Structure 1
Amino acid sequence: MTSSSAPSSTTGRLVLAATPLGQSRDASARLVDAIATADVIAAEDTRRLRALAAALGVTITGKVISHYDAVEDARMPRLLEDVREGRTVLVVSDAGMPAVSDPGYRIVAAAAAENLPVTCLPGPSAVTTALVLSGVPCERFCFEGFAPRRDGERRRWLDTLRTEARATVFFESPHRLADTLATAVDVLGAERAAAVCRELTKTHEEVLRGTLAELAAWAEEGPVRGEITVVLAGAAPSAAPTVESLVGAVQERVADGERMKDAVSVVAAAAGVPKRDLYAASLAAQQSAG
């Protein structure tokens, strides 16, 4: 087990910071200070970092290095060494919170394993912003990252959400959105409520709310552009089966050669109803049919 606490100003530390999704004015005062004072800034895109700093009127005084997926492992030893030597290392992604479908979690895990100071400057997140705007119940939710690219994998992934009671948030590319929503209609049903959030906090922000069928039809018209976050409403709780509704399942098993007692036992256990009641209802139906 490891633990961490807020580092003192005299020690090195690793700092993950959320950056604005679109509007630079969403930057926190702590982010502005961190960009100006960090000894090293590891940025997913160094050009976007410099553009953000310019928009905020901040002069970067530290060393800036790229820190995207393909180089994350290679950059890690040097960044950890900087922290050990007493430097402040700031990690930022293009937009939103690092480590949430962006580089960051590997270096946090490595720093924590060495008990090096790690902290976070909270701020914008596409996940929570989309949830708030979606209009679906979101007291409980899960985040699924990016939807699978291939149709078969995407279909199997959506199937795991068929009975998910929590709201689900995921990212999707604009050119795959129509296919994903069409598959979601097939797997989850046309009436499942959802929201497509596009270009969150930016000038052309757009949030479309409706059923999966309505959203799939909109996406099919295309073209869809921009950063996309999708929110699915949780599955509606299934109604508890009645004893009478299960008699047919018992009769089918009996017709296939199974003893009524055994058929009742299997069906009742799966549905969570009393075997005695189901047996009596099934026997009554059999006698009535005879």
Structure 2
Amino acid sequence: MAKQSKYGTLYLIATPIDEQNPLETTALNLLKSAIEKREQSLFLIEDLKPCRRRWIRFGLEREIIEDFILFNEHTQVEIENDLISKIQSGKDAYLMSDGGLPAFCDPGQKLVKRCHELGIRVTCTPHSNSISLAVALSGIDCANFTFAGFPPRRPEERKEFLKKLAKVDMPKILMDTPYRLTRLLEESVEVFGERIGFVGMELNGEEEELKYGKLSKLLKEVSGLKKEFILIIK
């Protein structure tokens, strides 16, 4: 489903792992902009005390702390539907964890998944590791996953490589050169069938595109494209 123009966006705010380093500039400016339009902003945090400390250290407006929404394993089920409804009404949501990358092995994963299913745009502030970034943006439960890297070039070796990978009972992460994007999706449909997948293209770039759904659907949506990408197969 294509993102509806009236929908808001779910922003994942990547923060320093420790509590001493400053927030990355793009993320800081995004939050400052969100504060200016606070009536249309939802600030989702994992835990009040550590997030409050970071928020103040980052030099962000203290009054906004009163607007923080606790989103964690204890509150998720109760508030998720309401959050989705508010995003669909046009509000933007800014998801922060206690430190690091939200939606990577934490409850934000399910929120990202719901957004993909409903056609709500998901993106993330700059993050230096493409693998963990793709996992966080995918909405796929990757508590355990296999990083398979680049498949072999030769057709026979590629097919055998993918067949062995299909036997691995956890999400698989693949990469390849931009001009092999369509080819890898074609091969994946043949080998994996109608599994759920995610393609993250030009991550953190101006032309970023995220595609989520059955592999055959992804193939139709990316056919002919030549972009830097990461493929995750559930």
TM superposition score normalised by structure 2: 0.47
Which structure has the higher relative contact order (CA within 8 Å, separation 6+)? 2
Mark the structure with the bigger radius of gyration.
1
TM superposition score normalised by structure 1: 0.38
